């Protein structure tokens, strides 16, 4: 699948809305995202596969009202087989403010790896963390695709996007600052 072309085709329309969130420091990462999106996708597809929600975020989760209570995901129309780490990345990135995400993400990914190991699935923590960071940065692409419809959004959606888009931008910034944009450029199929 070639995401660079999809990104480029929707970028101009989406940037009419997204431009207000893009500062000079993030601009190089935004401009290079399309070049690495296909490689990021290839890396994610090599991660352990499961049934994924494909739209995991706090608004699609029901939480039991007690400490340590169960969580149930709703709104499953986008389900498909795929890398479970992509759901983990989306849930953490979109649901948590960047400071809280940064403080919690390593432990949450480690919990995910431990849950897989308890079921006999090997996923080295270093690989899971790298894949998580790619999946987290991947949320910028979601913002671009979703924002092409900004003129049609309700006031509530527009308000929500003013929270979610900056979270996606911060995740892309973290991926870029961590070298993930340059590390995968020019290395097709690299991990």
Query: What CATH number was assigned to the domain covering residues 3-184?
Result: 3.90.1200.10
The DSSP output letter for 51 is E
3-class state of residue 23 by DSSP: coil
Per-residue pLDDT of the chain (191 residues; tens, 9 = 90+): 456 677 778 888 899 899 999 999 999 999 888 888 888 888 999 999 999 999 898 889 998 888 888 989 999 999 999 999 999 999 999 999 999 999 999 999 999 999 999 999 999 999 999 999 999 999 998 899 889 889 999 999 999 999 999 999 999 999 988 887 765 444 333 33
Beta bridge partners of 52: 80
Closest CA to 174 of 146, 143, 138: 138
Give the angle 31-168-143 at the CA atoms, nearest 5°: 70
The position carrying tokens 């790619």 is 134
Q: Which residues contact 64 (CB under 8 A, 6 or more apart)?
A: 70, 71
Token pair, residue 52, equals: 């994924």
């Amino acid at each position: 699948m070639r995401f660079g072309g999809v990104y480029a085709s929707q970028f101009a329309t989406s940037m009419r809305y997204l431009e207000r969130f893009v500062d000079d420091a993030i601009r190089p990462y935004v401009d290079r995202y399309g070049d690495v999106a296909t490689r990021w996708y290839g890396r994610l597809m090599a991660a352990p596969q499961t049934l994924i929600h494909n739209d995991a975020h706090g608004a699609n989760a029901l939480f039991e009202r007690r400490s340590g209570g169960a969580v149930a995901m709703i709104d499953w129309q986008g389900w498909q087989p795929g890398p479970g780490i992509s759901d983990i990345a989306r849930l953490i990135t979109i649901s948590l403010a960047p400071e809280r995400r940064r403080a919690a993400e390593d432990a949450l990914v480690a919990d995910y790896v431990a849950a897989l190991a308890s079921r006999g699935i090997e996923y080295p923590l270093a690989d899971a963390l790298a894949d998580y960071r790619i999946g987290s940065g991947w949320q910028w692409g979601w913002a671009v695709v979703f924002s092409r419809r900004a003129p049609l959004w309700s006031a509530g959606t527009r308000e929500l996007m003013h929270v979610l888009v900056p979270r996606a931008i911060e995740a892309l910034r973290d991926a870029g600052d961590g070298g993930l944009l340059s590390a995968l450029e020019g290395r097709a199929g690299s991990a």
